[in-house]
A and B are shown apart, each in its own frame.
Chain A
Amino acid sequence: MAELLEIKNNERVQRAAIPHLEFADFRQELLDFAVAGGQVVQLFAYQDSGLLKLLAVLRNDKLYVAGCDAPDTFASLTVESEKFHMFEREIGEQYGLEPKGHPWLKMVRYHANYTGKKDLFGNDYSQDIPGNYPYFTVDGETVHEVAVGPVHAGIIEPGHFRFQCCGERVFHLEIQLGYQHRGVEKLLQSVPFKRLPIIAETIAGDTTIGHSLCQAQAIESLACLKIDEGAGIVRSIALELERIANHVGDLGALSLDAAFNPPAAYFGRIRGDYLNLSQILSGNRFGRGLVRPGGVTKIMGDEQKGLLIDKLTELTPQVEHVNDLIFSAPSVLARFENTGTVNYADAEKLGLVGYAGRACGLAYDARVAFPTEVYAGLPANTNHKTDGDVCSRAMVRREEIIHSTTLINTLLGKTEEAKSYIPEIPKLAPTSFVVSINEGWRGEVSHCILTDTDGKILRYKVKDPSFHNWIGLALALRDEGISDFPICNKSFNLSYCGFDL
């Protein structure tokens, strides 16, 4: 770790201060860090005055950064630690750099690379997705394959799933995404500044606040903008409302997948009530138009506070009663328990984040480890069931609903008011770097911005927690009945668009 630079969340760092290592040293530092239990927050390539470089942000209980020149081909890190597997595939796809020996080097989102280098996958992108995609197959007389998607049976995002089965038993599930790819990172690096917040809010619609917080904080850091505590309170409340709305909706849907309908009907409606609370704060059910670099666009006055308090007082006992109904139904518990288990060792090796990680015993919560806004002064949550199965993921969410409600009530008791917000285009510090991390409802959301000598955005890197967690779902299905897929899937409820960008 001697060669890594310790940084803070949202700390503006001069790019020159970031250790620039020889690739061999960079590789060894990263591997040592990963083997010692550290995790990867960001690892990406970027182009700087014609040269390709790599940059890594790592975390244990602190944050570190380091970079190096990117070789055209390099010895894959994934061979020695699985924590790098998606990052290397992404680097290969985006910049045409080849991690030699990568055991699973397949496309991530199906698009031509940014550098015009030879395509690693031999694809012609005028052809439709998935191009040359070598699906994992299992041979044998009793083995059959089930293919689902991209268009699924419900109102959900597109993705392709392939199950290798023997009868009802799943040997392996391969998840191939990219259908939602709309070029978010390229847009963020090229469009006028005024468009950035709108794009951040639509990286993943259900994580509108999570992603817009990351962007706002990163820009505030680069532009030396200070926000008042009142705005921090509104932002934190909005983030917790987002968390509760999604957890409530998913617990209802999980109950439905276990064929227990009443909680699904109740939680479906109650989720909408939480979305309406976001609408009271921001004017939009998903919190759009609220968080902007420099503060929040709407202040939370006594009227809004009163409405929030009244509604939360009404909803909180109802939510607890419906949760009690779900978690005391033997038929539901029989379906939840010991289904879709990911063990601690695998979760650690893959770096699962958010409730998916916490349900396996990885306690990491960015609100506690790297607090932003007003989280430093708020109590942490603890999880009591961490067996890695569907039941644990559901229980963790139930506990998080209770915890988030407590946080909101605490914050509503504070008196600091946000100052009114003045929309303006800020000027970013030149040749700087910042990484921003927040605990979105699904887990660690991170944005990273590098600026050039003119203060323009040179590289904008986005990471949604789903980037880590999709492989968790694939593992959860190993040796499960194929009919358990819906319940496993819903217990993770990962984002396609957040992954596909």
Chain B
Amino acid sequence: MLKVIKNRLEQGYRTSKYPKEPINLYKRFRGLPKVDNDCDGALVQRCADACPQEAIDAVTKQIDLGRCVFCGLCETLSEGKFVCFTQNFEMGTASRDDLFTCGDLPALAEHSKKHFKKLFGRSLQLRQISAGGCNACEADINVLNTPFFDLSRFGIQFVASPRHADGIHVTGPISKNMRQATLSTYEAVPSPKVVIASGACAISGGPFYGSDEIVGDLNSLIPVDLYIPGCPPHPLTTLHALLNYFK
């Protein structure tokens, strides 16, 4: 018993003040990329060719955050002259098109569907579906339940049964072997329901794009309401997206 109290005192209060107070992530963290539109076309082309995810459009100079895995190669290659990754982790969008960006994203809160705010603003229960990814997305969703993030203080919870859920949160490129289970879980959620695609895999197939063992993007299976980019999305990216879209 004494040990419990001693540890409790040592641990103290650890819950973050975000979103009331901003959080600064370490400068090496690769968040929202910022593109320099005046960059030399040849350098842009070189970055586009080298991009393992083929996420860079050399003509429009846009980066597709739905494909990008934030590996930082374009920043290294261009020495920051074409792409610079900022520490801004607020990257969720309400449409797939908005993920094609030069570094500006529309304010998510203004693009959310109003009836979702009314329905789920005070209480949101989500069923998570892991569908063919690498388990990094899942790991960083679980983190939201630790004391630092303490997701449930916002009235948001991940629940066991789809029957108890208001929507599904999907990670992974939907392997063919998870296609039916994903659909069945979706169907088991009562309407009205929300669909969240989280991570490069669920949005575009991620690192596994082109594989014939995957569906590749959730939206081709079920209409997606909220996109959360990243590989995996930082827990704060997810938290920001959930709060702004539903609150």
Contacts and interface: CB of A to CB of B under 8 A. Distances in A.
Interface of A: 109-111, 128-129, 150-151, 153-158, 178-184, 186-187, 191, 194-195, 197-199, 201-206, 208, 262-263, 265-266, 268-269, 271-272, 275-276, 279-286, 288-289, 297-298, 307, 318, 321-322, 324-325, 328, 421, 423, 495-497, 500
Nearest to A307: B26
Given A154-B160, A272-B148, A282 B28 contact: yes
Nearest to B234: A285
Contacts of A325: 3-4, 7
Contacts of B51: 194
Interface string B132-146: 111111111111011
B143 A423 contact: no
A179 B180 CA distance: 10
Contacts of A202: 133-134, 136, 206-208, 231
A441 to B, nearest CB: 13
B8 interface: yes
B77 A423 contact: yes
A379 B45 CA distance: 48
A262 B180 contact: no
B207 A198 contact: yes
Contacts of A321: 3, 6-7, 10
B37 interface: no
Contact of A182 (B6, B14, B185, B213): B213
B28 A283 contact: yes
Contacts of B76: 297, 421, 423
A197 B52 CA distance: 9
Most chain B CB inside 10 Å of its own CB: which residue of A186, A283, A497: A283
A199 B208 CA distance: 7
B150 to A, nearest CB: 10
Contacts of A194: 50-52
16 contacts: A111-B176, A128-B179, A180-B175, A183-B211, A183-B214, A186-B213, A187-B210, A202-B231, A203-B134, A271-B143, A272-B148, A279-B29, A283-B30, A285-B234, A289-B72, A321-B10
Contact of B134 (A179, A204, A279, A281): A204
B52 A195 contact: yes
Interface string B192-230: 000000000000001110111110000000000000000
A365 B140 CA distance: 28
Interface string B69-83: 111110011000000
Contacts of A263: 7
Given A268-B146, A288-B69, 16 more contacts: A129-B180, A150-B181, A179-B178, A180-B133, A183-B211, A265-B146, A266-B7, A269-B146, A284-B29, A284-B70, A288-B71, A289-B70, A297-B72, A298-B28, A321-B7, A423-B77
A280 to B, nearest CB: 5
B53 interface: yes
Contacts of A155: 128, 130, 138, 141-142, 158
A500 B158 CA distance: 25
Contacts, number: 196
A157 B135 contact: yes
B175 A266 contact: no
A158 B69 contact: no
B173 interface: yes
A269 B15 CA distance: 9
B172 interface: yes
B136 A199 contact: no
Contacts of A262: 4, 7-8
A151 B8 CA distance: 35
A491 B138 CA distance: 19
A199 B26 contact: no
B135 A495 contact: yes
Given A158-B181, A322-B7, A181 B26 contact: no
B24 interface: no
A155 B179 CA distance: 17
A338 to B, nearest CB: 24
A203 B146 CA distance: 25
Contact of B73 (A276, A279, A307, A423): A423
Given A183-B214, A262-B4, A325-B4, A496 B135 contact: yes
Most chain B CB inside 10 Å of its own CB: which residue of A110, A269, A318: A269
Contacts of B181: 150-151, 158, 179
B191 interface: no
Given A180-B178, A262-B4, A195 B207 contact: yes
A205 B133 contact: yes
A318 B180 CA distance: 45
Contacts of B41: none
B137 A205 contact: yes
Nearest to B162: A151
Contact of A268 (B69, B145, B176): B145
Given A158-B130, A262-B4, A266-B7, A182 B211 contact: yes
